[in-house]
Amino acid sequence: MIKIFKADESHVAGIAKVCTEGYWATYQELLTKERIQRIVEEFYNHERILQEVTHSDRNWGGYFVAVENNVVVGAGGGGMIDETTGELYVLYVDPSRRNEGIGTMILDAITKQQKEEFNATEQ
């Protein structure tokens, strides 16, 4: 059974893995390998993800993860871009697990956070 919840330090490696694999699968036909590698190294490295799971605020609500059998199978996060508008910044699912509704479950959790904690009226 897949569970969706806010990530903590124990999910850093899983978030890095799913985001890296998801990014490669999404952009391998669109971007150069060098550009993909540069983006992955900048955004999906251990130190940055650790920072992003341990600190959150209105601008970055933290990562939400989809976990099944203690394995991260999806990750996403967003934040507020003004007083009433939320935005989804990142959302990746293990490429082998696409089309199972995992991304929708993560999006629902982020949307709920933005509405309930940050009073978002649009996304």
Mean of the per-residue pLDDT values of the chain: 97
Query: What would the pLDDT profile of 79-119 be if each residue is shown by its tens digit?
Result: 999 999 999 999 999 999 999 999 999 999 999 999 999 99
Count Cβ neighbours within 10 Å for each residue of 25-50 and write b for 16 or more, e otherwise: eeeeeeeeeeebeeebeebbeeeebb
Residues linked to residue 77 through DSSP beta bridges, in sequence order:
63, 90
- Average pLDDT score over residue span 68-85: 97
pTM of the full structure: 0.94
Helix (DSSP H) and strand (DSSP E) numbers for the chain: 4, 4
Name residues whose C-beta falls within 8 Å of residue 85's C-beta, 6 or more positions apart in sequence. 120, 121, 122, 123
Tell me which H or E stretch contains 118. helix 102-118
Which domains can be identified in the chain, with CATH numbers?
A: 3-118 (3.40.630.30)
